[in-house]
Amino acid sequence: MRILPRQFRRHRPSCRRGRRGFPLLSVPLIGALLLAASVALAGRVAVERRVTVSFAKSDKSKLSGRVASYNETSFELVKADSEHVEVKWSELDASNLSLVRSALITAKPDAQAWLNLGRELRRLPGGEKLAEKAFDNAYRDPKLKSAVDAARKEPIKPLGEAAEQDPAGPWKLLNADEQAKALQELETFAADTKKAMNLELSRQETDYFLIYSDLKSTEAKKSAELLDRMYLKLAELFATGKGVNIWRGKALVFVFKESKDYKRFQGLMHKTDPGGAFGMCHNFPNGEVHIAFYRQPDEKAFTHVLVHESVHGFLHRFRTPASVPSWINEGLAETVAMELVPRHFSPDDDLAATKAAAKTGVESHGTSLGGMFDAKPIDDWQYPVAQSITEFLIRRNRRGYVSFIVAIKDGMSWPDALSEKLKADRAALVKGFGDDWLKVKGLKP
């Protein structure tokens, strides 16, 4: 018996929502995000003001020197003999983490940094009193008082707890033998599908996808080429490594000529009712990804769904099994799909149409996002809202947005990732999005 997917995400077709797709950026989004990813993941922040520290690591070894640079995982220490040492933040206990980070924050005062430090210290043994001192410093900023009050009431969740509860941990990159075995399992599933459906499906294989389809060979080939282009874009965006295959085997894709066969496939092979969805991505706990579509008459609508659902599959296999909240997942999938499969010639017209659809949606729901942040999954009318808020975040801080996604996949809650990587809380996000982007005053979550 095959394991049913832990979750699946269905793409609400744009025609069902009564709107057409449109690209969001005047400058290509993918190129801009690639630059942001390379800086956010590989770059370090140089320490301009001299910060000297003396501390002990968790192994009791003592170090002292000048902090030259840092990033989210480590800092660079220059010792008295000019030796450069990289120290991971995870190598410090609560007392020494507070010592080093406090020195850096004091050198460049930042109330949000005090709040973030307080949250981290609360999760370390013996860190609660030190966390309170950090929170007191953050509380001096009137804008952060509500966020500090909320952080002080949050349940204490020790670092590493999520990883211990999730036996899968980070996704493992398979070696050649394991990939061959995984690929054979996918081909067995495809053979079972053809037998159960009594339908002839031709096979196409690319570097990253295994595709079965009853389309004409020329159409199937075009779909395969588009999917490979999408994979390469996302692989660059999230810095997974040139030529690295993150899939378990490959992503298994079914493309049907008729909607009735697509629906029959979903019912027979995945025990799922696809409703009015043009395509669906099934993500399995063991790491497999199955994606299925049917060929719509509108070429751009069809290719849009291919990209959209494949983005979901990629996000599932990116770094860890940690799930990405629906509004973030759908917002990014729509944004990337619209970038690769544009609808109109004028980006300004497209941007205006996106905002108009989002604005109409929130105003028709009581000047509210309609609980979108907590929806599983988001509703049809919330798709343009999620797409617009993705664009808003990217334009405000492209570098931070990439780090935001990475942090969520590494186990951080999205509110904490928002605070850590984009320097905002939920209330500030809603207000900024409403006031500055949609021009809707008093927007509620």
Q: How confident is the model at residue 107 (pLDDT cuts 50, 70, 90)?
A: low
For the ranges 28-42, 304-318, 360-374, the maximum mean pLDDT occurs at 360-374
Express each pLDDT in 237-272 by its tens digit.
Answer: 788 887 889 999 999 999 999 999 999 999 999 988
Q: For residue 230, what are its two tokens?
A: 């999408």
* CB-based contact 388:84 (threshold 8 Å): no
Judged against a pLDDT cut of 60, whether residue 14 lies above it is answered with no
Helix or strand or coil: residue 155? Answer: coil
Average per-residue pLDDT in the chain? Answer: 82
Q: Tell me what pLDDT residue 378 has.
A: 93
State the first-to-last Cα distance of the chain, in angstroms, to the nearest integer. Answer: 42
pLDDT, residue 238, reads 80
Q: Give φ, ψ of 272 to 5 degrees.
A: -130, 140
pLDDT at 340 over 90: no
pLDDT in tens, 15-33: 333 333 333 333 445 555 5
pLDDT of amino acid 155: 64
- Token code pair at residue 338: 């619209």
Q: What angle do CA 234, 237, 242 make, to 5 degrees?
A: 75
All structural domains of the chain, each given as residue ranges with its CATH number in brackets, are: 52-165 (2.30.30.700), 171-318 (3.40.30.160)
- What pairs with residue 53 in β-bridges? 65
The DSSP code sequence of 128-139 is HHHHHHHHHHHH
Summarize the confidence of residues 178-187 as an average pLDDT: 93
pLDDT at res. 209: 95
- Which carries the bigger pLDDT value, residue 136 or residue 110? 136
Cα 228 to Cα 247: distance, rounded to the nearest angstrom:
13
Sequential DSSP letters for 322-333? PPPPHHHHHHHH
Q: pTM for this structure? A: 0.64
Return the higher-pLDDT residue of 349 and 9: 349
pLDDT surpasses 80 at 197: yes
Q: Using one digit for the tens of pLDDT, what is the confidence trace for 29-53?
A: 555 554 444 433 334 678 877 888 8
Q: What percent of the chain has pLDDT over 70?
A: 84
Those residues with Cβ within 8 angstroms of residue 123's Cβ, 6 or more apart along the chain or in another chain: 156, 157, 158, 159
Separation CA 142–CA 428 (nearest Å) = 13
The larger pLDDT score, comparing residue 164 to residue 370, is at 370
pLDDT digits (tens, 9 = 90+) for 318-338: 999 998 999 999 999 988 888
Query: Residue 230 has what pLDDT?
Result: 87
- Residue 145 has, within 13 A of its CA and on its CB side, a CA count of 4
Q: Which two tokens stand for residue 369?
A: 């996002």
pLDDT at 156: 61
Separation between Cα atoms, residue 152 and residue 318, nearest integer Å: 32
